[in-house]
Chain A
Amino acid sequence: AQSVAQPEDQVNVAEGNPLTVKCTYSVSGNPYLFWYVQYPNRGLQFLLKYITGDNLVKGSYGFEAEFNKSQTSFHLKKPSALVSDSALYFCAVRDILEAGTALIFGKGTTLSVSS
């Protein structure tokens, strides 16, 4: 069975500092991995994805994520946080052997960036 864990309910960081939002996953085969962001009263917005190739994936708004197969992790990172990055972040996975099925989401991590 597929699953995603986001071990931190909330991450607090000062503006200008680097940020990391953690995600680990479990799938039977190889994963497709995604990060989404959700602002209040808005739908989920796609940030980035890992499908294959380079383990470091770059996405929207300066975010990046590193796929680590041995640790089954896909942590979201940004070198310098902005107050406007404050939002709810979701990691999601799909097993490539089950292509066509829905994404499995983590419970989300609230990122709070203080000025």
Chain B
Amino acid sequence: GAGVSQTPSNKVTEKGKYVELRCDPISGHTALYWYRQSLGQGPEFLIYFQGTGAADDSGLPNDRFFAVRPEGSVSTLKIQRTERGDSAVYLCASSPSTSGGAYEQFFGPGTRLTVL
């Protein structure tokens, strides 16, 4: 079956611009997570959704970052007024449920964002 997909695979933008990153989770997965991975580091949590609602957005670094999941499937991570420090690989993951926390997360290939 299809895995988690993310578009675009690469995004180059200029400082100050607005970007949107898209994630298509595995069909039927209710939980969706966004992570950010900087060079030489492990993924760092940004936000997670249970269905349509953001259940935990404590990892978002500031109010320039926002994410939505309006129909409980596809999610979009939005970054306003991008800064060079936002350059990283943005990973999306999904899992069948957050219930019990024992499910592994299935990751997409990521979007590499470069802010010039």
The contact size tier of chain B is 20 to 34
Judge whether A107 and B41 touch: CB under 8 Å: yes
In the complex the two chains form, is A94's CB within 8 Å of B101's CB? Answer: yes
Does B55 lie within 8 Å of A100, measured CB to CB? yes
Tell me the minimal C-beta distance from A35 to chain B in angstroms.
Answer: 10
Instruction: Find A103's partner among B4, B45, B56, B110 (CB 8 Å cutoff).
Output: B45
**In the docked arrangement, what's the CA distance between A90 and B31, Å?**
21
Q: A43-B107, A43-B109, A44-B91 are in contact. Are A90 and B101 (CB under 8 A)?
A: no
Bound Cα distance from A51 to B103, whole angstroms: 9
In the complex the two chains form, is A100's CB within 8 Å of B42's CB? no
Which A94-109 residues sit within 8 Å CB-CB of chain B? 94, 96, 98-108
Q: Chain A residues with Cβ under 8 A from B33's Cβ?
A: 102
Complex contact B40–A100 (CB within 8 A): no
9 nearest CB pairs, A to B: A99-B101, A105-B42, A100-B98, A102-B45, A43-B107, A44-B107, A43-B109, A46-B104, A51-B102
Q: A105 near B48 (CB under 8 angstroms)?
A: no
Within 8 A of A (CB), among B59-116: 59, 91, 93, 98-102, 104-110
CB distance from A26 to the nearest CB of B (A): 15
Is B35 a contact of A102 with CB atoms below 8 Å?
yes
A34 and B77 CA atoms in complex are apart in Å by: 25
Selected contact of A108 from candidates B4, B42, B93, CB within 8 Å: B42
Given A44-B43, A108-B41, A103:B105 Cβ within 8 A = yes
Cα distance, A32 to B56, chains bound together (Å): 19
Within 8 A of B (CB), among A5-49: 32, 34, 36, 41-46, 49
